A and B are shown apart, each in its own frame.
Chain A
Amino acid sequence: MKKHFVLVAALALLLTAVLPAVAQDQTLEIYITGLTEDTIKWFNEVAFPAFEADHPGVQLEILTGGWGEFDATVAGWITTGDGPEIVYLGSEYAATFGDLLADLDPYLKDWEELDQFLPAALEAVTWDGHLRGLPLLMSPRPVFYRTDLAADPSVIPPLTFADALEFVKANSAVENNAMTRMGFMDIGSGLFDDQEFIAYIWSAGGELYNEDGTSAFDSEATAEALKFMYDRRRIMMPDETTAGLPPFEGVPIASGNVVSGIFPMWNMPATTDPLWENIVAAPYPAGENGEPLIQVFIDWLSVPAYVEDPALAVEFLKFITSKENAIELSKVAGFTPVRTDAWEELKASNPVWAKLLDLAVEYGRPFSDIRASAELRPLIREQVALYMSDQQSLEETQQMLKEEYDAILEDNGYLD
């Protein structure tokens, strides 16, 4: 019996030792969210072979997923300290992950091409005074208007809250307690969006934080933004029993039922579509004491702190954000470059991008420095929804937002 046991144990040891001994090169894993098939193909067939040719013995591998599972996926890697060497992040995530991302200053501060990046974009990837990655793309998110559908195209674009309400009123219709035309559709189709709410606070002349770091949700600008969103909702949806638009295929702005809205470029027609002749991009309307603006989202590539040797990962960041690759990515994936030296060619070749880039320069404000964003998002959604559906007064909504966001800021160490 003992002999058999020893024999089996020895055999098991031998098998487990030999079987997994497969030759491996050094692999660099890159996680990028929400890529199309064409973009993945470009990475695998064009970008990766070029990098691998310059770095013998290095293999690149792309991991992709949607924004839906993004938080859980990245949190899992960070928790276990085992994940890809490069992680794609949205605008607000520098504050969320903070010190969990590697400090790349030693590798990037002296890189001469850093000056080509928009300062605001570099600001979005900086945490605690140190670069945590490199910006990959920017996404200016203006309001798009259909001039051919508008009741009076001459008022486009409305640049004040009051004018915007008039525009929505003139271009919305409800029949049989159901919407038939929407004068405005927000990005989430839910008649209010947390990112858009923040934009309106800014365009009303307000800020999210007071000088002492506490929340400024009790400000006049917040009240003005909330009131504007509520009034706009009630124009399109006289009460909470009104049904929305019927389902449509394709992008909302091309449905014929949506006259204006805020959409990311991936939810707009291709820039070569003739419909663009009837589409005008413009900044968000402003409050009495504010200025029109456009929210700009910066998506970037970071290196998590668990990566033992970030040097190779940084080499890839420099490679993929080069001028040539930025232009290529704008063509293949529709990414808007964050490098100003890549703009000239893009603007000359595509009038839609030319207009968007000009607007971004004139009105752009990066969606960054949103502290404890993962906890702020549900708070805004909960409290603003109560106000929007007549379950809570404006004053109570502001008070709850202020009190609870202050508590969140304190819990997360933003307030001393």
Chain B
Amino acid sequence: MDVSAQARLENLLWAIGTAAFIVIGSVLVGQAAKMIARWRGLSTSDQRKVFWGFLFAAPWIIGFVIFVLGPALASLYYSFTDYKLGKEMNWTGLENYRELLLGAGAQGRRFSQAMFNSFYYMAVGVPLQIITSLGMAMLLNNQLRGIRLFRLIFYLPVILAGGPAALLAWRYMLAGNGGFINVTLQNLADSFFLFDWLYRGFIFTVEAFNSFYAGIAGGDPIGPFKYAVPALIGALVLLSIARGEWTPAKRARAWLVAELIGATIIVLLAARALVADPLDPGLLLGSGALAAAGAFIAHMRGETRRFHLWTLIPLALAAVGIVILMTFGSDAERSLYVLALLAAAAPLVLVYITRTPMKKRRLLGAGAALLTGIIIVRLIPGQLDGGRLAVLPQYLTLQSAIAQPDNLDYLNEGFAATTPAALWLYGLVALVLGGLSLADNRYPRTARTIALVSLAAFGLIAVSAAIDGVRYFQAYNQIAAATGEQNYHFAQFNAATAQWPDKNRVPLWMTNELWSKPSLILITMWSSGAGMLIFLAALKGVPRAFYEAAEVDGANRWQKFWKITLPMISPAMFYNVVIGVIAALQTFDTIYILRTPQTEDDLASAAFFLFNRTFRQLEIGQGAAVSWILAGIIVLLTVLQFRYNKWVYYEA
């Protein structure tokens, strides 16, 4: 048989085989659905309907299983292996996740940096993009001649933005020396005195912020600053609820923040517990205890849905813990901690069985107490021994906690080893706010007193920690000055803030690591047309009557914007934020085209890191782990956004 006849026959066989597979597979799916319908007691007529329904849906179902679910499960399996193209594949358990989440080794460090970059795009880029698209939408919402042309022009970058030609044009425009943008800015600065100062202020601010961010993202210690953030959050929330009458709205706010912090701590503790080497059931139980406390508060507050959520979390954690320990743990760990986990989970299971509220409360209390007992035994000695708690009284009396400011080893490692983790302070904030959320109208004075005392305490800690953070930072500089070496942790920050930018300074957009991320965000802002379109549709939907009523009441433009426009377009805002956050975490194509050898690491997002590990370095196993971590983070952030979307006003 000649070659072409053989090829023809092969094609025919493949086509027949594929068609037969689809037909047989569809019939099998239909039959399976029919059997389930029969098992559920449906009538013969309904069983027939189920059969035909699933039969016709089956090609899609089979396609989904083969092309979506199958590869997804395969990638989940690969993520637990050291699969590299051309090499033998070995099961390595959680090693990939451990390396990535703990930032261990070169790849862990690069993944951490990529995550910092992704969060930068999310935290800085998304708000700027929202402001830009809202601003454009408001401009285009006016009745002007040729408005359709303007809409087209504003939307055009969405079509062009991802194109290599447009991105290369941006490279030329952003050239540090002779680029259109810098030349324009420089000319304006030369012509207008005020603009010159604003321009230099812009350069100073961007470089100072980005160099500080780079210092932190590089894994450098930030010392006492780590306490200032939770204390400040606590103080700000308490400030907003300590004044005036004690209302249910304030209790709800306290609970909201406590819940958010608690959930974050649970995720962090559980993630660390699962990737710690060796596995750390103590951390897992710690997160379980917090969840039990959350369930207790939700139950006391009479919030049934949240109560279920908070009870399900520890149950799920216990289940995951058992599976993990059974799979990876040593014999001793299995016997000891599986028992502990079962003991901890038992009260929560019983909560679901019992119907008496008081019994539920007791069971929850017992569960939380048991878990707390385990935490006291397992976690606290390691975290709070050796006088670690001395930091809090020191900060409450505005003293420094830095024992050896002239010792580099102490600054690098000693300080962190002799002070508690910042997570404990977050936990304290959650505890105070959670407790306050339980104080109903019967004890308003007590609640206010607790709130005021806590406010003072958190305020003092925040101020002391911030001052100590500056001392800590200066200590590095003093050591560097004494030894003649650089302060490598913040060399860029020191260089950027050493002096006010000279007149001849320009932003080095695409070539300097301090400007590469702002460049990317600038280009992303240019293509804000998609968000603009959503806002524009929402703005068109705001009834004129609302503005007219507000005008009758004497509202000015600003008040109308805040009180009418923003609430009415909040669903569109929510949609744009959710989509923007997901897109920011998945940024890839602009980085791929705009990167240079000097700026690649500073631009690389988590998605770009995934591409590098998988396709350039052929590390399929670790690439799969990155994709699952990224998917988990995106799901978590999206769930949190949906959970805390009370600011979104859906018109009845």
Q: Is the A/B pair a real complex?
A: yes
Contact A17/B19 with A240-B512, A243-B177 known, Cβ cut-off 8 Å: yes
- Docked pose: A15 CA to B495 CA in angstroms: 71
- Tell me whether A362 is interfacial, beta carbon within 8 Å: no
Flag whether A90 is at the interface (Cβ < 8 A).
no
Identify the interface centre among A17, A98, A194, A243: most chain B CB within 10 Å of its CB: A243
| CB of B229, distance to nearest CB on chain A (Å) | 25
The verdict on A390 contacting B486 (CB below 8 Å), with A177-B502, A244-B511 known, is yes
Task: Give min CB distance, A227 to chain B, whole Å.
Answer: 16
Q: Are A20 and B15 in contact (CB under 8 A)?
A: yes
Choose one: B16, B592, B617; the contact of A375 (CB below 8 Å).
B617
B4 proximal to A (CB < 8 A): yes
Are the CB atoms of A72 and B512 closer together than 8 Å?
no
When C-beta atoms are compared, the residue in chain A nearest to B7 turns out to be: A24
Q: Of A71, A177, A244, which contacts B505 at CB under 8 A?
A: A177
Q: Mark A26-51, 1 if CB is under 8 A from B, else 0.
A: 10000000000000000000000000
Tell me the bound Cα distance from A9 to B617 in angstroms.
46
Known contacts A23-B4, A78-B86, A391-B492; decide if A244 and B601 are in contact (CB<8 Å): no
Which of B252-260, B281-289, B464-472, B608-616 is found at the contact surface with chain A? B608-616
Residue B486 contacts which of A71, A76, A98, A393 (CB distance < 8 angstroms)? A393
Residues on the A chain within 8 Å of B19, using CB: 12-13, 16-17
Check A25–B615 contact: CB distance below 8 A. no
B23 at the interface (CB under 8 A from A): yes
Once the chains bind, are B110 and A378 in contact (CB under 8 Å)? yes
CA distance in complex: A156, B507 (Å): 35
A354 contacts partner chain B, Cβ-Cβ < 8 Å: no
Q: Are A404 and B85 in contact (CB under 8 A)?
A: no
| List of A residues within 8 angstroms of B87 by Cβ | 412-413
Does A289 lie at the interface of the complex (its beta carbon under 8 Å from any beta carbon of B)? no
Cα–Cα distance between A97 and B86 once the two chains are bound (Å): 7
B506 is an interface residue with CB less than 8 A from chain A: yes
- CB of A9 within 8 A of CB of B601, answer no
Bound Cα distance from A25 to B7, whole angstroms? 8
Query: Does any Cβ of A come within 8 Å of B106's Cβ?
Result: yes
Does B500 sit within 8 A of A, measured CB to CB?
no
**Residues B618 and A374 in contact, CB atoms below 8 Å apart:** yes
Interface flag for A333 (CB, 8 Å): no
- Cβ contacts under 8 Å, B381 to chain A: none
If A26-B3, A239-B495, A243-B508 are given as contacts, then 20 extra A-B residue pairs at C-beta distance below 8 Å, sorted by A number, are A13-B23, A24-B7, A24-B11, A71-B615, A75-B614, A75-B615, A78-B618, A79-B620, A96-B618, A98-B86, A100-B86, A178-B177, A178-B504, A241-B508, A241-B512, A244-B511, A246-B175, A247-B175, A378-B110, A393-B486
Tell me the dominant secondary structure on chain B's binding face.
helix
Q: Hey, which bits of chain A sit against chain B, CB under 8 A? A: 1, 9, 12-13, 16-26, 57, 68, 71-72, 75-76, 78-79, 96-100, 176-179, 188, 190, 193-194, 239-241, 243-247, 374-375, 378-379, 381-382, 385, 389-393, 396, 404, 407-408, 412-413
User: What's the minimum C-beta distance from A317 to chain B, rounded to whole angstroms?
Assistant: 21
**B517 to nearest A CB, angstroms?**
16
Closest 4 CB pairs of A and B: A246-B178, A243-B176, A72-B615, A24-B7
Q: In the complex, A379 Cα to B14 Cα: how many Å?
A: 46
Q: A25 to B23: give the CA distance in the assembly, Å.
A: 31
Interfacial chain B residues near A179, Cβ < 8 Å:
177
B597, A391: Cβ atoms under 8 Å? Answer: no
Determine which of B106, B178, B601, B616 lies in contact with A374 in the assembled complex, contact meaning CB atoms within 8 Å. Answer: B616
CA distance A75 to B85 in the complex (A): 8
Who on chain B is nearest to A392 by CB?
A: B488
B333 close to A (CB within 8 Å): no
Q: Complex: how many Å from CA A240 to CA B486?
A: 15
Residues of B within 8 A of A98 (CB): 86
Chain B contact residues, CB within 8 Å of chain A: 2-4, 7-8, 11-12, 14-16, 18-20, 23, 52, 84-87, 105-106, 110, 172, 175-179, 182, 485-486, 488, 491-492, 495, 502, 504-506, 508, 511-513, 592, 596-598, 600-601, 611-612, 614-618, 620
Name the residue among B105, B597, B614 with the largest chain A CB count within 10 angstroms: B597
CB pair B86 A21 closer than 8 Å: no
Contact assessment for A21 and B11 in the assembled complex, using a CB-CB cutoff below 8 Å? yes
Q: Which residues of B lie under 8 Å from residue A404 when comparing CB positions?
A: 105-106
Instruction: Identify which of A12, A176, A393 gathers the most chain B CB atoms within 10 Å of its CB.
Output: A176
* With A25-B3, A99-B86, A177-B504 as contacts: A408 and B106 at CB distance below 8 Å: yes
Residue of B at shortest CB range from A58? Answer: B3
Which residue on chain A has the smallest CB distance to residue B176? A243
- Report chain B residues within 8 Å CB of A188: 596-597
What is the CB-to-nearest-CB distance from A34 to chain B, in angstroms, rounded to a whole number?
16
| A–B Cβ pairs within 8 angstroms, 19 of them | A9-B23, A16-B15, A16-B16, A18-B12, A20-B14, A21-B8, A22-B11, A72-B611, A76-B615, A79-B620, A177-B502, A178-B506, A244-B508, A374-B617, A381-B600, A381-B601, A390-B491, A391-B488, A412-B84
Residues of B within 8 A of A1 (CB): 52
A99 CB to closest chain B CB, in angstroms?
6
Q: How far is the CB of B619 from chain A (nearest CB, A)?
A: 8
B504 close to A176 (CB less than 8 A): yes
Beta-carbon contact of A385 and B511 below 8 Å:
no
Known: A16-B18, A374-B617. Contact between A247 and B178, CB under 8 A?
yes
Contact B598 A385 (CB under 8 A): yes
Tell whether, in the assembled complex, residue B16 and residue A20 are in contact, meaning their CB atoms are under 8 Å apart. Answer: no
Contact of A407 among B106, B485, B486 (CB under 8 A): B106
**In the complex, what residues of B have CB within 8 A of residue A190's CB?**
511, 596-598
Query: Of A23, A24, A246, A381, which one neighbours B597 at CB under 8 angstroms?
Result: A381
Report whether B20 and A13 are in contact in the complex, using a CB–CB cutoff of 8 Å. Answer: yes
Bound form: Cα–Cα A34–B20 in Å: 43
Contact B20 A23 (CB under 8 A): no
Inter-chain CA distance A391–B485, complex, in Å, is 10
Min CB distance A27 to B, Å, is 9
A247: B residues at CB distance < 8 A: 172, 175, 178-179
Q: Is the CB of A21 within 8 A of B12?
A: yes
Closest approach, in angstroms, between the C-beta of A110 and any C-beta of chain B? 28
Please indicate the chain B residues that have their CB under 8 angstroms from the CB of A68 in the complex.
592
Closest beta carbon of chain A to B100's beta carbon, Å: 15
When distances are taken between beta carbons in the complex, the residues of chain A under 8 Å from B172 are: 247
- Please, which residues of chain B bring their CB within 8 A of the CB of A23? 4, 7-8
* B447 nearest CB across to chain A (Å): 50
B485 touches A393 (CB 8 A): yes
A16 to B618, CA, bound (A): 36
CA of A25 to CA of B506, assembled, Å: 61
Q: A20-B11, A176-B504 are in contact. Are A72 and B616 (CB under 8 A)?
A: yes
